[in-house]
Amino acid sequence: MCSASILIWISLAAIISTVAAIPSQQIHTHMDEKELQRIFQVDSHHQVPEYELVSIRSLTKRSLDEKRLVSFNAFGKDLRLQLKRNPHLVKQSLRMWIAEPDSSRGIHYQELPQESEDEIGEAYQDESNQAALLIHHDKNDGSLLMDGMVGSNLVVKPLPSKLRSRARSPDDDEAFLDEEIGDEWAVNKGFPNMNESHPFLNNTRGMHIVYRTKHIDSHSDYALMEPDQSPLKMKAKNVSRIKRSADRHKRDAPYVIYPEILVIVDYDGYRLHGGDNLQVKRYFVSFWNGVDLRYKILKGPKVRISIAGIIISRGRDATPYLERNRVGRDALDSASALTDLGKYLFQERRLPVYDIAVVVTKYDMCRRREGGRCSRGTADMCRRQFANDVCNRGTAGFAYVGGACVVNKRLEKVNSVAIVEDTGGFSGIIVAAHEVGHLLGCVHDGSPAPSYLGGPGAQKCRWEDGYIMSDLRHTERGFQWSPCSIAQFHHFLNGDTATCLYNSPHEDGSLPRVLPGKLLSLDAQCRKDRGTSACFKDDRVCAQLFCFDATSGYCVAYRPAAEGSPCGDGHQHCVSGRCVVEHENIIPDYSHITPSIVRGDTSTVKGSSFTFPSSVRQ
């Protein structure tokens, strides 16, 4: 029995998996169009970048921290990863919607059935090696499947199932007994007995494609927020307003904050992944796992990205804020699109609760050299008008500085928005981290802080040093935050306007018998918080209660309205973050409360057949 166990282990360790069929460098020629799109995000075989076919080995450690030890060789490098599960990125049930244009009813949103966690996979990270990978197993043969990035430029994708048995594995004479197991264990135990219990017992392997991602040599941009008061009022208060902004009230942020990201994928992004909903979901879980990895360096408060939901656009007109601002065939006026996105989200109430909304697009973003925008006619008329205008390309992202949690009531616009360009292969990860950095209060390195935020700014850090909040990201610093950015995060996250980020997306609670919202009106709740009144008193308060902030002049979300608060037409109350008709003898599910940015009145938006979950349908 012992000799049989030893033989099994040696087989796992040293056998080279070779099925003489397809040489590794010709494997892409046997892929169909959808597989090319899913793996390389290209449409034809001649567009495939240089790649290597690798056999990735994984050891799973049986412990509470759920470690995985992964090793492989690619492009002449031996990579040994110690991966830890990222538990905060995705809830147990990640919700996803499709958005389709409807000529008679506007945009139609439909929630898709939820896949199991086994189908999607689990997010893992190795901070020291800057690896962010989604790991799952083939439901038919149990093969190890990894999807994500390692370091600054290596993309890892699983080989399609139909090609795994036909692929010729690269030469490999490395023993499976990885050094991470520990020399002491190996010496004391000799060859491991497969029947013995050991923390690294589970081992798997799988064939993968590894290639270098595209380098986007372009810059990101940002906009400053407009005041939430009329110009006449602002003129009288300008001097004292700037001074108060610099000395704004500080509060202690929690040890960890969780910005909840609503991910909106445009139509070309949907097509980029072969029109496969599950593949889109996996890609963007991996994508935001990579963004979250860039924030792991921050200490006190820590920033942990969480995905609030994913919306897939099934037609170009499902993102009117983009289509209205197209320049020619493939470019996008980023500043105007960001404004229209904020105004659309102010009016749209059918979306899940979130803190930050990020549109990921394949369009080539640009900035118009001259002022002006299309203010009349159809989207096609606007595109023709812009076709001959000068629009400087090279912008890869756009966001408002300090926009997180902020809504401009006067302009009816959500400021907690960003647009990020991604052409596949996770090319937009650093851009997304950069734009979220703007929303969390950072300007570009070398720039002063805007007057409405105050704080340290970034003038003490040189643009040329090439950190994340610069665009000269050509060294390892391009994946790190400058000291100035870290100081700005501290300033913003401990300030008044960041409090919508304080709620954990995984918080559960038990419903009290006497609902607090029945004891305090919305105005009374705002008076308790800031000594002011509520900005809105409709159904949006259940997601976030926006109170007027006298210091900044903005409507600021501090928290959702208390359970039981009046909302909607007055005969409804807030339950679990939604405005529902009250039934006295029904105790609602209190486990789904999550923070949200404002979602404004939809009276000017065409209707849709969006269906709520049965638990809240009235």
Is residue 444 marked as binding?
Answer: yes
Question: What's the chain's length in residues?
Answer: 618
The single-letter DSSP state of residue 321 is H
Contact 434, 479 (CB under 8 A): no
- Tally of CB atoms within 10 A around 373: 17
Q: Spot the catalytic one: 50, 435, 464, 584.
A: 435
Known catalytic membership, residue 507: no
Element (H, E) at 185: helix 183-189
- Between the two ends of the chain, the Cα-to-Cα distance in Å is 64
Contact 404, 556 (CB under 8 A): no
CB of 19 closer than 8 Å to CB of 11: no
Identity at 93, one-letter amino acid code: S
**Order of strands, sheet of 545-548, starting from the edge strand that comes earlier in the sequence:** 413-414, 406-408, 555-559, 545-548
- Known binder of ligand: residue 438? yes
Contact 438, 224 (CB under 8 A): no
3-class secondary structure per residue, 539-558: HHHHCCEEEECCCCCCEEEE
Q: Which long-range contacts (CB under 8 A, 24 or more apart) does 228-231 make?
A: 228/408, 228/409, 228/410, 228/411, 228/553, 228/554, 228/555, 229/410, 229/553, 230/410
The span from the CA of 70 to the CA of 68, in Å, is 6
Amino acid code (one letter) for 578: R
- 562, 574 in Cβ contact below 8 A? yes
Residues 6+ apart with CB under 8 A from 19: 165, 166, 167, 168
Are 283 and 273 contacting, i.e. CB atoms less than 8 angstroms apart?
A: yes
Q: Which residues are 263's β-sheet partners?
A: 310, 358
Question: DSSP assignment, residue 20?
Answer: S
CA 387/CA 414 separation, integer angstroms: 28
Q: Which is nearest to 149 in space by CA: 136, 135, 130? A: 130
Identity (one letter) of the amino acid at 251?
A: R
15-31 in b/e form (b: 16+ CB < 10 A) is: eeeeeeebebeebbeeb
Helix axes 277-294, 429-439, angle to 10 degrees: 60
Q: Is 63 exposed, middle or buried (0-12, 13-18, 19+ CB in 10 A)?
A: exposed
Backbone angles phi, psi at 409, to 5 degrees: -70, -35
Residue ranges for the binding site for Zn(2+)? 434, 438, 444
Residue ranges for the binding site? 434, 438, 444
Catalytic positions: 435
